[in-house]
Amino acid sequence: MTKFKRTLITSALPYANGPVHIGHLAGVYVPADIYARYLRLKGEDVLFIGGSDEHGVPITIRAKKEGTTPQAVVDYYHKLIKKSFEEFGISFDVYSRTSSKTHHDMASNFFKTLYDKGEFIEQTSEQYYDEEACQFLADRYITGECPHCHNENAYGDQCEKCGTSLSPMELINPKSAISGSKPVLRETKHWYLPLDKHEAWLRQWILEEHKEWRPNVYGQCKSWLDLGLLPRAVSRDLDWGIPLPIPNTEGKVLYVWFDAPIGYISNTKELCDANPELGKWETWWKDDSTRIVHFIGKDNIVFHCIVFPAMLKAEGSFVLPDNVPSNEFLNLEGDKISTSRNWAVWLNEYLVDFPGKQDVLRYVLTANAPETKDNDFTWKDFQMRNNSELVAIYGNFINRALVLVQKYFDGIVPALDELTDYDRATLKEFGDVKTQLEQLLDNFKFRDAQKEAMNLARIGNKYLADTEAWKVAKTDMVRTGTILHIGLQIAANLAIAFEPFLPFSSAKLRSMLNLETFSWNDLGRFDLLKVGAKLGKVELLFEKIEDADVEAQRQKLLATKKTNELDVFKPTAIKAATTIEDFDKMDIRVATVLECTKVPKTDKLLQFKLDDGMGGRTILSGIAQSYPEPEKLVGMQVCFIANFPARKLKGIDSEGMILSAVDADGNFVLVSPNKTVKNGVSVG
RNA sequence: GGCGGGAUAGCUCAGGUGGUUAGAGCGUCGGAUUCAUAACCCGAAGGUCCCGAGUUCAACUCUCGGUCCCGCUACCA
């Protein structure tokens, strides 16, 4: 730790084909930002690098679909993403993009160096080519019939129906997902980074020298290394990306995974070139007194811990990352966040619904960060954390301290008189918070660190409750002043402790306290506010969030879910031909529901007692989840098949089958005549 | 199928070279209080630490087997 003179922090480059959502924020940008702010506040030399990842096939597909160009797509999303980050206070020193000139040059040169050094191997293989769209097809853009389950819509890499992973060559009747035409096989040459040659030192470097990496990261790397590394293609046949900087490679670009991490370097260069006082970019990447930390999500572990380091090592002049704190995934209301299914809370939309509440989201995402395992974000939890922690603990403490000073001292910092033992104990306690916080932040334990900061506010609340300034004020204004003086110093400490986590609220609090300069090292001191100083205007630090606000968000998500289910609905294929004679064998009748109850110890079964006009019968039907209040079905007419043999289910004879439509969302809807008819009549 | 991560209070999560009463925050309940956004403060209830077997004087912690969730990866047919 001591050998480093500066820290370079990178955060995964978001892919510019959609906006960023809370999963990105929780997994990567908030923790990276907390860390960057913390180090800056400590006065350390630090750069925080970000940028958009703008190459790759999905962007070209999106462009085609929207009838526009890849450049237009990335321009749009780069702007949107950049703005979201700014609004959330993600304090990048630079946020650039991989379509920049600097990056194209940097990535080209990088490739060229490796090429000239003979670090690649060349291989020719046959791949599917779409003659109509004039391009080679990535595995997932080829569809066809699965050779195992004969699902017609299997992808070139996997059949989603039977779960088998496939190669495009196995598909029966392959079709291009781009043009719909039948692809042909064509020879193509590509360059590969022989990761297998790097295995030995990677093994040593990670498994022996970096045992301190998070268990999920270390374990994942070990898993890869133990499986054995294979050469990995670093070029692609595509017209969108960085052209290979070698002759006779028309139509070939760097594989997006090769160029993207180099973006960290390019963006650093762009920043340093424009701001010479920051030093040369090489200092930040090639000097071994620089500490590099990559913040990423778990899907990126292998690239940042194995592929990118291998690239850097192959190049030869770069330092390797010191740590790669990777988070797990954040789920949303119990379901996996998904861009394509629109199952997400988008940052740009959040700020429309909750203007000015950036810190609330930052707080909740940190409090519930998926540091060791996947976590779930729910709006209910969001509301509770806001109301019972930010408002009730932190905001409330600030408010009561300031209101008391306003009330008894006209908003002027009162003098400190003699300290009681209790005062001293309190001051010592919050002095310890600094050490605690540092230890946690240094080890990337942001969730615990934030909890520790909140603890300071708890100490403040307890101090006020125990000292009861409002009672003392009736008899002893000197003592009251001392109490409130301490209260204010705690408030000033809170502004510092929370700065990395809640920058907007800290700024607001500092202005209320008229606290201009501050640094991390001031934390734990109790002379941050000068006696006689005038406080600023007092306002609430946080507001409550009402039930209706979060309910609206839940409804929004439910609507999304509904839309998704209906969108993906396709009527099933028509069954094999049948005849009227076959249909005639089915005796379908109408009956009225006399009783309907849930069968005990089952999830799905409802027991119907029907008046079928023929003495009545009992039928069980597995539709309970669609009808949570079965008693409401009493009196309604339903259709049923009357001539099935009785079948015992859960010890009850079920005499037939009740007919339901199965809706696109899987819900059952009972089929009923649209006018009351006589019980027992036939349907036909 | 293999590998990695996870499974601990109603919820979200900590934890331990194995050793007397297993922790925090929120929620719930009770008390106290009124400076404060019915907030704060004090206290209590609440857990076969996923299941089974083994090692041990002693396992929530170690070993083996199993189940479930997440991820990576392979392949038989």
What pLDDT was estimated at residue A329?
83
Q: What percent of chain A has pLDDT over 90?
A: 48
A680 lies in a domain? no
First to last CA, chain A: 82
- The winner for highest mean pLDDT among A46-55, A193-202, A236-245 is A46-55
What pLDDT was estimated at residue A629?
66
Provide Rg for chain A, Cα atoms.
Answer: 32
d(C-alpha A43, C-alpha A360), whole Å: 26
Dihedral-angle region of residue A51 (phi above 0 means left; psi in -120 to 50 means alpha; beta otherwise): left
A352 lies in a domain? no
Q: Which residue is nearest to nucleotide B34 (CA to C1')?
A: A470
Q: Does the pLDDT at position A604 exceed 70?
A: no
A675 lies in a domain? no
Query: Does residue A395 lie within 7 Å of nucleic acid chain B, judged by its CB?
Result: yes
Yes or no: say if A608 and A657 are a contact pair by the CB < 8 Å rule. no
d(C-alpha A440, C-alpha A455), whole Å: 14
A682 lies in a domain? no
Yes or no: say if A196 and A228 are a contact pair by the CB < 8 Å rule. yes
> Within 7 A of a protein CB, which nucleotides of strand B?
2-7, 11-15, 24-27, 34-37, 39-42, 69-77
Return the closest-CA partner of residue A261 out of A205, A217, A307: A307
What pLDDT was estimated at residue A622?
76
My answer on whether A208 and A261 are in the same domain is: no
Where does the pLDDT of residue A180 fall: very low under 50, low under 70, confident under 90, or very high at 90 and above?
confident
Where does the pLDDT of residue A363 fall: very low under 50, low under 70, confident under 90, or very high at 90 and above?
very high
Where does the pLDDT of residue A670 fall: very low under 50, low under 70, confident under 90, or very high at 90 and above?
confident
Count CB atoms within 10 A of the CB of residue A289: 10
My answer on whether A168 and A287 are in the same domain is: no
- Amino acid present at A218: Y
What pLDDT was estimated at residue A547?
87
And the tokens for A642?
């009357």
User: Which residues, including other chains, have CB under 8 Å from residue A299's CB and lie 6 or more apart?
Assistant: none
Residues 322-341 of A with CB under 7 A from strand B: 328-329, 336
Phi and psi dihedrals of A531, rounded to 5? Answer: -60, 135
d(C-alpha A62, C-alpha A57), whole Å: 9
Mean pLDDT of chain A: 86
CA distances from A650 to A257, A607, A631, A657, A659 (A): 56, 11, 20, 16, 20
Last residue of a domain, one of A302, A336, A370: A336
Answer with the residue of higher pLDDT: A653 or A501: A501
Mean pLDDT, range A382-398, rounded to an integer: 93
Q: Does the pLDDT at position A187 exceed 90?
A: no
Q: What is the DSSP string of A114-172?
A: HHHTT--EEEEEEEEEETTTTEE--GGGEEEE-TTT--TTEESSB-TTT--B--GGG-E
Which residues in A581-610 are b (16+ Cβ under 10 Å) and which e?
eeeeeeebbbbbbeebebbeeeeebbbbeb
CATH number at residue A320: 3.40.50.620
Where does the pLDDT of residue A508 fall: very low under 50, low under 70, confident under 90, or very high at 90 and above?
very high
A341 lies in a domain? no
Consecutive H or E run containing A220: helix A215-227
CATH number at residue A626: 2.40.50.140
Nucleotide of closest approach to A539 (CA, C1'): B37
- Amino acid present at A313: K
Query: Does residue A215 lie within 7 Å of nucleic acid chain B, judged by its CB?
Result: yes
CA of A306 to C1' of B5 (A): 18
Encode pLDDT of A524-583 as tens digits. Answer: 888 999 999 999 999 999 999 988 888 888 888 878 777 765 555 555 556 667 788 878
Where does the pLDDT of residue A355 fall: very low under 50, low under 70, confident under 90, or very high at 90 and above?
very high
What pLDDT was estimated at residue A564?
62
Q: What percent of chain A has pLDDT over 70?
A: 90
Mean pLDDT, range A258-282, rounded to an integer: 96
d(C-alpha A231, C-alpha A400), whole Å: 63
My answer on whether A458 and A482 are in the same domain is: yes
Phi and psi dihedrals of A100, rounded to 5? Answer: -75, 155
d(C-alpha A191, C-alpha A314), whole Å: 14
Task: Calculate the CA A210 to chain-centre distance.
Answer: 26
Return the closest-CA partner of residue A143 out of A179, A116, A100, A107: A179
Return the closest-CA partner of residue A49 out of A110, A112, A6, A87: A6
d(C-alpha A176, C-alpha A132), whole Å: 9
In degrees, rounded to 5, the angle at the alpha carbon of residue A473 between the alpha carbons of residues A468 and A477 is 120
Give chain A's domain count.
Answer: 4
CA of A228 to C1' of B65 (A): 28
And the tokens for A303?
């690239």
A467 lies in a domain? yes
Give the structural domain span for A123.
119-237
Q: Coil, helix or strand for A69? A: coil
What pLDDT was estimated at residue A393?
94
- Amino acid present at A136: F
Polymer length of chain A: 684
Encode pLDDT of A397-454 as tens digits. Answer: 999 999 999 999 999 999 999 999 999 988 888 788 888 889 889 988 898 899 889 9
My answer on whether A416 and A500 are in the same domain is: yes
Count CB atoms within 10 A of the CB of residue A203: 15
A665 lies in a domain? yes
Q: Does the pLDDT at position A147 exceed 70?
A: no
And the tokens for A123?
């291989």
What pLDDT was estimated at residue A651?
65
What pLDDT was estimated at residue A576?
63
CA of A551 to C1' of B77 (A): 50
My answer on whether A503 and A608 are in the same domain is: no
My answer on whether A508 and A584 are in the same domain is: no
Task: Calculate the CA A98 to chain-centre distance.
Answer: 22
What pLDDT was estimated at residue A213?
85
Query: Does residue A108 lie within 7 Å of nucleic acid chain B, judged by its CB?
Result: no
CATH number at residue A199: 2.170.220.10
My answer on whether A259 and A223 are in the same domain is: no
Mean pLDDT, range A99-125, rounded to an integer: 94
CA of A330 to C1' of B20 (A): 40
My answer on whether A231 and A288 are in the same domain is: no
- Helix H, strand E, coil C: the string for A540-572 is CCCCCCCHHHHHHHHHHHHHHHHHHHHHHCCCC
CATH number at residue A502: 1.10.730.10
Q: Coil, helix or strand for A578? A: coil
My answer on whether A593 and A643 are in the same domain is: yes
Where does the pLDDT of residue A166 fall: very low under 50, low under 70, confident under 90, or very high at 90 and above?
low
My answer on whether A438 and A481 are in the same domain is: yes
Where does the pLDDT of residue A357 fall: very low under 50, low under 70, confident under 90, or very high at 90 and above?
very high
Q: Does the pLDDT at position A161 exceed 60?
A: no
Phi and psi dihedrals of A243, rounded to 5? Answer: -60, 145
User: Which residues, including other chains, have CB under 8 Å from residue A328's CB and lie 6 or more apart?
Assistant: A27, A216, A297, A298, A370, A371, A372, A373, A374, A375
Task: Calculate the CA A192 to chain-centre distance.
Answer: 31
Mean pLDDT, range A310-323, rounded to an integer: 94
Query: Does residue A165 lie within 7 Å of nucleic acid chain B, judged by its CB?
Result: yes
Return the closest-CA partner of residue A498 out of A603, A361, A403, A359: A359
Consecutive H or E run containing A80: helix A70-87
Residues 140-159 of A with CB under 7 A from strand B: 147-148
Query: Does residue A577 lie within 7 Å of nucleic acid chain B, judged by its CB?
Result: no
My answer on whether A319 and A190 are in the same domain is: no
- Interface ipTM: 0.84
Q: Does the pLDDT at position A340 exceed 80?
A: no
A368 lies in a domain? no
Query: Does residue A396 lie within 7 Å of nucleic acid chain B, judged by its CB?
Result: yes
Last residue of a domain, one of A336, A363, A386: A336
Last residue of a domain, one of A522, A547, A566: A522
Q: Coil, helix or strand for A387? A: helix
Sequence-ordered strand ranges (E) for A194-262: 232-233, 235-237, 252-254
What pLDDT was estimated at residue A623?
76
User: Which residues, including other chains, have CB under 8 Å from residue A232's CB and lie 6 or more apart?
Assistant: A192, A193, A195, A307
My answer on whether A584 and A502 are in the same domain is: no
DSSP single-letter state for residue A601: T
